[in-house]
Amino acid sequence: MALPLGEWVLALDGSSLPDKALIGGKAWSVARMSALGLSVPPAFVITTRACAHFLAEGMEPDSLADEIDAGIAWLESRTGRTFGKGPRPLLVSVRSGAAISMPGMMDTVLNLGITDATEAELATDFGDAGFARDTHRRFLDLYTHIVLKGDLEIDPAGDPSGWRAAIERETGQGVPTDVRAQLKSAIRAVFESWNSRRARRYREHHGIPHDLGTAVAVQAMVFGNEGDRSGTGVLFSRNPLSGAPEAYGEYLGGAQGEDIVSGKHTPKPLVAMRETMPEVHDELLAAARKLEQENRDVQDIEFTVQGGKLYLLQTRAAKRSPRAAARIAVDMVAEGMIDAGEALSRVSSEQVRILLSPQLAEGSADRISPALTGEAASPGVGVGVVVMDSDEAERRAGLGETVVLARATTSPNDLHGMIAACAILTEHGGSTSHAAVVGRALGRPCVVGCGEGTLAAFEGQTVTVDGQAGKIYSGALPVVTPREEDDAVLRQLSAWASERASIVVTSSSGGGDAIDFDENVEEASALFASLPRGATVSGALFANDASAVRSAIAAGAATIVTKPVLPALLVAAERPNEI
């Protein structure tokens, strides 16, 4: 079990792979990559059991502080650096990591361990005072927002004493100069973020239990903001929009991961790194191929380059658009990576419903110039009224209005508005920004990087968002509904699902009698209770509600008539442990 440092903390030395439920997905990926011999900064993890204790008791376990000290000592021995002092100071990141991936929903603090004294030591160590000052500013910015809950933009032109004074005025609290006090507060903030509004809303939307808790990974920092041959990026082992079997990602030189995730900076395509550091680019692609083969799924990899050396920070199964989910599942069967049953389990009925939802009618935009263009981040078409505030989007959607959420950038605090919207627009950010990643996970059309100050002019107007093309049109353009039988990937999924389905699902009753649930949708529960065994049931309800399909099967129905067929067929093909 890795290297136990007590009851609550494990050092991730790569010697074994602890249970993901205990150490969370982020730490699990660190342990996995270490075991595979990939370049990973050393880390230790505070387990989900410690989080559960904190949430139940309102305080950390008694022995946790000593175990964290042991973890820091282990990091010091692995890096040759010292936490809180020179001549080679150790800085750490403090990252949340639940067993089930919840991208962007919980909190992270980077560059922890820097003070006025360690800034000076860091400047001497790297020979770059500007880098050390920038790192100090980055820490104070995140600590203020995550730990102190302040809303303060820190002026890069300032200095640490001025920054700290401004933070104390804003929050009523000072930033500790004791690095262990910094660490304790950051860990507590990560524990508390498990029950933040955005995290709870995300779990409710995705059916994730509230009692899992999060682990906390404490990892030695590597610095993407250190010099010309440094940077940070995100790589997908396959295209998460289309499913094409090609690497896809972004890179931002002279930056840290928060710069990309926040959407405040627009990164460059991954090819930019190939042009400046071809050997690092090739090493990254080789690592991506290895991780995809080992994990048998598309990987979403966060990486940092420091001084021309590649470090992998995390890998996880990639969030992908509905189109990508279907294509990748079919392709991986053809490649011998997974079997047909596994492929079906990776494509949900909801994703197929989104795939078969309306798209722009052919030629409808040929003679119309888009009102605005940006970067395509999640495919699909959404038509609605532009709303600039997430609370307003949720309110108006609740009244039955179709809305498009437009923001400068999105953050986890916008999740409720993103769920309510039919499409998402941002002024800043790229295809791996928060808006893009969450948009793909939700199946919402999304266009990012539309440009500073471009969206406010559309507030209150009806627009058509084409997330595949990255274009926004004024007004409501004509749309069409795709046919599942015209799509080779969906036909293959249908064939596999038909072989495994526990009930016949068809688009035609063949002239026989069927019990129509659409005419009696409000009495559906009573109809299921009185349904004769072997009955044929019909209605759009079964294409749009997975629970209705399960109820029909449980009631003993023999045939479901609905259209489109595949969403209901996928549910009918579920195995008991998948339900």
CA 321 to chain CA centroid, Å, is 12
Long-range contacts of 543-552 (CB under 8 A, 24+ apart): 543/353, 543/567, 543/568, 544/353, 546/349, 546/350, 546/571, 548/517, 548/524, 549/349, 549/503, 550/579, 551/524, 552/503, 552/528
* Sequential pLDDT tens for the chain (579 residues): 578 999 999 999 888 889 999 999 999 999 999 999 999 999 999 999 999 999 999 999 999 999 999 999 999 999 999 999 999 999 999 999 888 878 767 788 999 999 999 999 999 999 999 999 999 999 999 999 999 999 888 899 999 999 999 999 999 999 999 999 999 999 999 999 999 888 888 888 888 888 889 999 999 999 999 988 999 999 999 999 999 999 999 999 998 888 877 777 888 999 889 999 999 999 999 999 999 999 999 999 999 999 999 999 999 999 999 999 999 999 999 999 999 999 999 999 989 988 887 789 888 888 899 999 999 988 889 999 999 999 999 999 999 999 999 999 999 889 899 999 999 999 999 988 989 888 887 778 999 999 999 999 999 999 999 998 899 999 999 998 889 999 999 999 999 999 999 999 999 877 678 888 866 656 778 889 999 999 999 987 888 788 889 999 999 999 999 989 999 999 999 976 554
User: Tokens 């150790």 correspond to what residue?
Assistant: 90
Decide: 219 and 313 in contact? Cβ < 8 Å.
yes
Query: Which is it for the CA torsion 188, 190, 191, 194, positive or negative?
Result: positive
The DSSP bridge partners found for residue 108 are: 95
Written as one string, the DSSP assignment of 419-466 is: HH-SEEEESS--TTSHHHHHHHHHT--EEE---TT-SGGGTT-EEEEE
Spatial strand order in the sheet of 446-448: 372-373, 471-474, 462-466, 381-387, 403-407, 423-426, 446-448, 375-378
The DSSP bridge partners found for residue 251 are: 233, 268
Decide: 390 and 419 in contact? Cβ < 8 Å.
no
* End-to-end CA, the chain: 31
Query: What is the token pair recorded at 89?
Result: 């100071």
User: Cα–Cα distances in Å, from 533 out to 528, 529, 546, 558, 561?
Assistant: 10, 11, 20, 7, 16
Backbone angles phi, psi at 526, to 5 degrees: -65, -40
Query: What is the token pair recorded at 503?
Result: 């009930």
Q: What is the pTM of this model?
A: 0.80
User: Cα–Cα distances in Å, from 451 out to 192, 252, 323, 419, 430?
Assistant: 34, 18, 27, 23, 11
Could you check whether the bond before residue 564 is cis, i.e. omega within 30 degrees of 0? yes
